[in-house]
Chain A
């Protein structure tokens, strides 16, 4: 019987939602929440002996400490396998799942499988080092995702040979293995082209990189003549959210005029965001966008000027295409206004 430990965040461990995001790492015996579906998927092959969990914010803010404590709990149960998630499209949870799997493998030599959406930032960070099953973006695929994770995990724990990503359901790790092909590359390429022209399905043999990245701007030479703009993905809005930006899955941003505003008052501005607890930002929105400080620095001549508009979007669960679009539009406006530097505060 394979001994399995399951990692969950505070939400799936049934501790609480965003308001419990700073819950410290801990452990419970046996399966919790989705762990029951994991146990079913394992059947007689394995037993979920414990569930380790941690708040997403705790993990993001104190990653080293979180990993140390979780690894200690993990070691106490002497498992043969760690299963983490699935985290779907939740970024902080996905990063945590990836990091704990990597630590289990490196420090304890325990094979591990994480589950998350292929666009989760945790997948980009860890897919080369660990096995990540593509869970899709939404919780609707919890059970099939856990079934694939369990099947792959059992193979890993038994040190069986692992097949190709497409066959086993994990994200490509960039590992190349030699194999014999029936046709030479030129013929395969022409076959692919013909399939494409006929509108048929075909699979590229090389995965293109998803994040092209941009060239970083040249350093700012002189702060005293700089025009600095403030941008946030933390969902700052004018009270009442007149542009109706979405609290998550953003498709647009809001432009907030700040001419004559010296500090962001709690009764005139709000934070609208489904990915973090907005209580602190709502108490004092300067905690989200540092307008009061920037005004001070402009008055003192530390910077040249502050741009008179703040651009804001709610960055939770952003689809990459939409995020790129929003970023391009904001950058276009800032360039047109002659802005030379941007401070973007992120939650």
Chain B
């Protein structure tokens, strides 16, 4: 859905874990899922620091 976000002017957009669990992944173990979420959020925070 990144092209959709950008089409509407949300230029700082990153791909999430999916439509039904943006900041998770139910297929991972609880520990791995938390790690996945942490990496995703850190990437989001990096994106906030980027010029667009």
A residues with CB within 8 A of B: 21, 57, 60-61, 91-92, 95, 121, 124-125, 211, 213-214, 216, 219-221, 223, 226, 228, 232, 234, 276-281, 283-284, 286-290, 292-294, 296-297, 302-303, 341, 343, 345-347
Q: Say whether A283 contacts B9, CB under 8 Å.
A: no
Report how many A-B pairs have Cβ atoms within 8 Å: 112
Q: Say whether B20 contacts A95, CB under 8 Å.
A: no
Give the docked Cα–Cα distance between A122 and B17 (Å). Answer: 21
Give the docked Cα–Cα distance between A125 and B11 (Å). Answer: 15
B20-38 interface code vs A (CB 8 A; 1 in, 0 out): 1111101000000110011
CB distance from A130 to the nearest CB of B (A): 15
Q: Say whether B24 contacts A284, CB under 8 Å.
A: yes
CB distance from B37 to the nearest CB of A (A): 5
B30-51 interface code vs A (CB 8 A; 1 in, 0 out): 0001100110111011001111
Size of the chain B interface, CB-CB below 8 angstroms: 33
Known A125-B7, A343-B45; further 16 A-B contacts with Cβ < 8 A = A91-B4, A214-B9, A216-B11, A219-B48, A219-B51, A280-B24, A281-B20, A287-B22, A287-B24, A287-B26, A287-B37, A289-B23, A292-B34, A341-B45, A345-B23, A346-B1
Q: Say whether B9 contacts A213, CB under 8 Å.
A: yes
Give the docked Cα–Cα distance between A221 and B45 (Å). Answer: 11
Residues in B with CB closer than 8 Å to A294 are 41
Give the docked Cα–Cα distance between A65 and B19 (Å). Answer: 17
Residues in A with CB closer than 8 Å to B20 are 21, 57, 276-281, 347
Give the docked Cα–Cα distance between A175 and B17 (Å). Answer: 38
Q: Say whether A95 contacts B4, CB under 8 Å.
A: yes
Give the docked Cα–Cα distance between A283 and B30 (Å). Answer: 12
